[in-house]
Amino acid sequence: MRVIISAAGTAGHINPGLAIANKIKKEEKDSKIIFIGTTRGLENDLVPRAGYELKTIEVYGLNPKISIENIKKMYRTLKGYGEARKIIKEFNPDIVIGTGGYICGATISYAHSLKIPTMLHESNSFPGKAIKFLAKKTDTILVSFNDAASRIRNGKNIVFTGTPVKIKKKNYSESEKEKIIKDTGLNKNKPTVLVFGGSQGAKRINDTMIEIIEKGQNKEYQVIWATGPKQYDIIKEELETKSILINNIENTKIIPYIYNMEELMNSVDVIVARSGAMTVTEISNLGKPSILVPLPNVSHNHQLYNAQELEKVGAAKIILDQEINGKKLNDEIKNIINNKEQMKKMGENALKISSTDAEEKIYKEIKKLVK
């Protein structure tokens, strides 16, 4: 099978594309797969690191505002469409798959004009502009949340598959969980809360955690808090101005980045995080109670819609970014950990929207299009 996958920008677009590529390679070792991306996004790191060839073109989102810069971007985008046509024509794929980013406009449109089978994967509950624009030109649209299907008009074939993610559910024994937590410098005698804001951290969540730590509010639970690499030293210095040493805080482990995320997410009791599509999918697949703080000012406010997928089944609490503070977050954490039955129920409810076989479902849909 010859496959082109177009994915650009964020890890939330690129990682599903890589998971799909890996599944195809696993099932059909002789498959030839290339990626098309931009020169600016994370694909330039993640795709070659995963062992796949990356072809880059320059495209931008359309901005109706008239300016010299926007005119230049429009010109570059038109040129990029031409480059995409050339790559597709030379590679001659059996299918073109898009997993997100403006890049999909160029690749899916041209593949459609050549009658090459096309597929799009939408990770978010609220579909982006590219999906809506390309719905008529796409043979199959895969969605991660059932609500996304109702928000896509004119789609020929919309299929719920979920999002392929790296983090899987592990049935650790209590002693194994205890060791994982102990390795962080904490113990399993208190409920453990994992706090993170994505790979780069989230300043709003970090500021809230500083407030909780400063006031010593987490006496009833312990915290593993990933600040993000760029914010760690800033937080360390800020805590020192309050006479708090970052490596000597009761019930608290503060680190820049989590490298054993699968182990920790499986072992903790509650998760506090942003609500990107992959995070929400991982939380649901693991069956974990969560407190979600959607990132504001993103396209269509899609992180709020993602978080609501867990909230409406009783698996998560939502605190809006502009409303979060130490007292509010601390109260929500204590409300969950002090009610063991509720905590268990929230975890069970999260599993209701889980999809642990996304790669298999996606591969089956690919095979339907590639006869």
**What is the DSSP secondary-structure string of 301-335?**
GHHHHHHHHHHTTTSEEE--GGG--HHHHHHHHHH
Residues 66, 184, single domain; the answer is no
The domain tally of the chain equals 2
Helix axes 358-369, 11-27, angle to 10 degrees: 70
Residue pointed to by tokens 């069956």:
287
Q: Which residue type occupies 46?
A: L
Q: Angle at Cα 201 formed by Cα 16 and Cα 255, nearest 5°?
A: 110
- Say if residues 231 and 203 touch (Cβ distance below 8 Å): yes
Q: CATH number of the domain that 182 lies in?
A: 3.40.50.2000
Q: Do residue 111 and residue 187 come from a single domain?
A: no
The answer to whether residue 243 is domain-embedded is yes
Q: Are residues 136 and 198 in the same domain?
A: no
pLDDT of residue 187: 87
Same domain, 183 and 34: no
Task: For residues 222 and 250, give the distance between their C-alpha atoms in angstroms, rounded to a whole number.
Answer: 8
Task: Compute the average pLDDT of residues 300-314.
Answer: 93
The string of pLDDT tens digits covering residues 121-177 is: 999 898 877 787 888 899 999 999 988 888 898 888 999 999 998 899 999 999 999
The strand pairing partners of 69, in sequence order, are none
Query: Taking a C-beta distance cutoff of 8 angstroms, is the pair 219, 251 a contact?
Result: yes
Of 369 and 156, the structure prediction assigns the larger pLDDT to 369
β-pair partners for 290: 271, 316
pLDDT of 16 higher than 90: yes
pLDDT in tens, 89-127: 999 999 999 998 778 888 999 999 999 999 999 998 988
Q: pLDDT category, 189, cuts 50, 70, 90?
A: confident
Q: Would you place residue 12 in the very low, low, confident or very high pLDDT band (cuts 50, 70, 90)?
A: confident
Q: Any idea which of 22-36, 120-134, 256-270, 357-371 has the lowest mean pLDDT?
A: 120-134
In terms of domains, do 333 and 219 share one? yes
When pLDDT is averaged across residues 197-212 and rounded to a whole number, the result is 89
Question: Do 90 and 196 fall within a single domain?
Answer: no
pLDDT at 2 over 80: yes
Q: Name the β-bridge partners of 110.
A: none
Judge whether 168 lies within some domain. no
Helix (H) or strand (E) run with residue 72 in it: helix 68-91
Kindly report the length of the chain.
371
The CA angle 128-132-137, to the nearest 5 degrees, is: 130
Residue 15 has pLDDT above 60, yes or no: yes
Q: Angle, to 10 degrees, between the axis of helix 277-286 and the axis of helix 302-311?
A: 10
My answer on whether 199 and 157 are in the same domain is no
Q: What percent of the chain has pLDDT over 90?
A: 71
For residues 271 and 292, is the Cβ–Cβ distance under 8 A? no
pLDDT in tens, 216-248: 999 999 999 999 988 999 999 999 999 999 999
Q: Which domain holds residue 263?
A: 174-353
Same domain (yes/no): 188, 242: yes
In a domain, 251, yes or no: yes
The pLDDT of residue 67 is above 70: no
The reply to whether 23 and 157 lie within a common domain is: yes
Q: Write down the pLDDT at residue 344.
A: 97
More confident site: 331 or 59: 331
> Are 303 and 333 members of one domain?
yes
For residue 123 the two structure tokens come to 């990770």
Apex 348 CA angle, 346 and 354, nearest 5: 110
Terminal-residue alpha carbon distance, the chain: 10
Any domain includes 260: yes
**Which has the higher per-residue pLDDT, 142 or 42?**
142
- List the beta bridge partners of residue 4: 34, 96
Residue 169 in any domain: the answer is no
Question: Is 194 contained in some domain?
Answer: yes
- Cβ–Cβ < 8 Å for 142, 132: no
Place of tokens 């598959």: 161
| One domain for residues 235 and 309 | yes
Residue 100: predicted pLDDT? 80
75 compared with 221, residue with greater pLDDT: 221
Q: H helices of 174-313, where? A: 174-182, 203-214, 229-241, 261-267, 277-286, 302-311
- Residue 133 has a pLDDT of 83
Mean pLDDT, residues 21-45:
93
Write the pLDDT tens digit of every residue in 315-360: 999 999 999 999 999 999 999 999 999 999 999 999 999 988 999 9
For all residues of the chain together, what is the average pLDDT? Answer: 91
Clarify whether residues 35 and 60 are in a common domain: yes
* In the chain, % of residues over pLDDT 70: 93
